[in-house]
Structure 1
């Protein structure tokens, strides 16, 4: 049975047709585009100032090209991704009711919110992890390490020949005396950069290709899907290795390569969704009313595949975060940056044979491993919970 918006019983409500705007007279000011242009102009002015003075404003060091790409990516998400999500309050409340039934997912979402906040503001507050040789290899709070064998200058109290952890360094320090809290925040910042920038590359490309291929069909669909096949047959990992050989390791190259070449699976998900949607009654009604193909894609199909794009992207991001960590761990990632990643910190902690055994300084590699695993697991749990929440059968 169908209702007046063309949905069937058990399906999620679809985007309704704006009949008053079909003749093109219902144009409104593109506030999101205006906000993006204003924000981009502000970033350009900020870039010119920091470049001429060789100093950062938000972070206390001169921004790199990756930093600027990250800022532009954040601006894109704020202007174009967040408003559509917040626009339909009734739909969002329905999704939230389904999502919050999964308590583990709610806890994971809360963790990710804290993760994002720390990754954004932490570097500005704490600065770059700096070495302090006199504080090298301090144990975490509530733990101890053999003085003289592990640590040579105990910051906390010494009890029975063991250096006790202190509040000065609650998570301990690295072999160079870097505060592990600062190193963890630094790794969070790098992981957030990977997630945000690759998502901003992948989402528009996957959505555009999936929409056009699924709605057009025929030769256009064949050509686009064959391109996706060719793209996936040459993994982004191989392209990145070639760039590493030619220009050296670079996190900038990593996010660009994997952002531009790793969206094929998401595009296929969007295409499948569009193929199912294009024969719905509301699409047929729009075509019968003479609505242009571009308008149908933009106003009626795009809003109804946004959930699919979000789910596909949340499934990709954990893989890319883990891959960046693995590449840095084996020293073909970007090592020696102002903000070291989890992979570099873990590698330094495990390759501790020059001064002591890795198990004696376990906190150097265990702390970032725990945070990394928690982040990846939380992303996966939230992605699965979103898929269940967006499932139209949830209301049956």
Structure 2
């Protein structure tokens, strides 16, 4: 009997130890699960470092690449580590206009990351609102919205953005508007799919029985429970926005020449690749790839953490 009692006691202790701490919040468990992945942590650290460098660019950049008065054509296409006539060392070289590539990359990150973040936030808010309203309303409203979404997604994003910028013209604000128009449909479809499941839950029925206003049911009860997949899509779409903005700038229809982004810096060095002046395109390209890979690593881990069924 003593052996049986000891075995029972050990089993009970193991069950208690395996039981999750109810005092631990869901957010704390998600954060702990996120930091279990070394790749996700490396991506997050890289992303935060690049954001910090972009924000502090006016204070740490050796040169303001947007100020044409600071550029000297005599310093054009200098190799990495070369010194200017004034004795300044260009650690990453210069482009054909004498622009310091290190400064250009830091300022280019500000535009690329800023455009990606702002366009994602606006498109996410717009698309999520449309998707959750369509799912809750159902019927003709849902059908009409989803046909518009299907029509939007049937065209390549780069093609739609090119047409919009051909109409709007060049500029950072124009690029943001084009990216919002291109991306809102992704969020609308994602939220609509989640909302169709959530609206059958008991808490939605309870809210209806309490005769709560429809806007409160939709935006205070239904939409918050659709956030997990929305967060994952939004994170991945930031990387897509940055890549799309860089592509548009590379093609010469994005940001103006006076405010070069990473895509425009890559385009400026494209003609010099065969002449051995690799640094003009290579270093901005490396910065762009690092930013996109870091965001995708964070997004992939968020998908696994917020959807435990994927890890089974």
Partners of 1:239 and 1:280 in 2: CA distance: 38
Which protein has the bigger helix share?
A: 2
TM-score by length of 2: 0.81
1:137 aligns with: 77
Compare 183-192 and 170-179 and name the one that shifted more. Answer: 170-179
| Structure 2 SS opposite 1:279 | coil
Distance 1:280 1:247 in 2: 44
Could you tell me how far 1:244 is from its partner in structure 2? 4.2
- What do the CA deviations read for 1:43-96 (whole angstroms, capped 9, x no partner)? xxxxxxxxxxxxxxxxxxxxxxxxxxxxxxxxxxxxxxxxxxxxxx92221111
2:58 aligned residue: 123
Cα deviation per residue 1:312-360 (whole Å; 9 max; x = unaligned)? 11222222211221222222323412x31112111221212xxxx6452
Summarize the Cα distance change of 1:214–1:392 in structure 2 as closer, same or farther, 3 Å threshold.
Answer: farther
The aligned counterpart of 1:66 is none
Q: 3-state SS of the aligned residue for 1:304? A: helix
Residue of structure 2 in register with 1:377 after alignment: 293
Structure 2, unaligned runs of 5 or more:
1-21
Q: CA deviation at 1:197?
A: 2.0
Q: In the alignment, which residue of structure 2 is the partner of 1:340?
A: 260
State the 1:132 CA deviation: 2.8
How big is the shift at 1:233?
A: 4.1
Deviations 1:255-302 (A, max 9, x none): 102213421122111111111111122222222233332222222222
Deviation at 1:183, TM superposition (A): 0.8
**Secondary structure in structure 2 of the residue aligned to 1:360:** coil
Q: Does residue 295 in structure 1 map to residue 230 in structure 2?
A: no
| Aligned partner of residue 101 in structure 1, secondary structure | coil
Corresponding residue number in structure 1 for 2:124 = 203
How many residue pairs get matched?
A: 283
Which consecutive residues of structure 1, in runs of 5 or more, have no partner in the other structure? 1-12, 14-88, 142-153, 157-165
8 Å contact 2:30–2:305 — kept in the other structure?
yes
Cα distance in 2 for partners of 1:376, 1:336 equals: 23
Describe the superposition over 1:125-171 as per-residue Cα deviations: whole angstroms up to 9, x where unpaired. Answer: 53621423343333324xxxxxxxxxxxx528xxxxxxxxx983222
Question: C-alpha separation between the residues in 2 aligned to 1:279 and 1:114?
Answer: 43
Provide the C-alpha distance between the structure 1 equivalents of 2:274 and 2:246, rounded to a whole number of angstroms: 19
1:205: Cα distance to partner?
1.1
Q: What is the Cα deviation at residue 389 of structure 1?
A: 1.1
Q: How many Å apart are 1:215 and its aligned residue?
A: 1.9
Q: CA deviation at 1:193?
A: 2.1
Does structure 1 conserve the Cα–Cα contact (< 8 Å) formed by 2:249 and 2:263? yes
Equivalent in the alignment of 1:218: 139
After the TM superposition, which of the residue ranges 302-311 and 231-240 deviates more from structure 2?
A: 231-240
2:30 to 92, 95, 103: 95
Residue 278 of structure 1: aligned partner: 199
CA displacement, residues 176-208 of structure 1 (integer Å, 9 cap, x when unaligned): 222111011121011122112211321111111
Cα-Cα RMSD: 2.6
Instruction: Write the mapping of 1:1-396 to structure 2, written as runs, cut at 5 A.
Output: 90-123=25-58, 125-126=60-61, 128-129=64-65, 130-141=70-81, 155=83, 168-233=89-154, 237-246=158-167, 248-337=169-258, 339-352=259-272, 358=274, 360-393=276-309
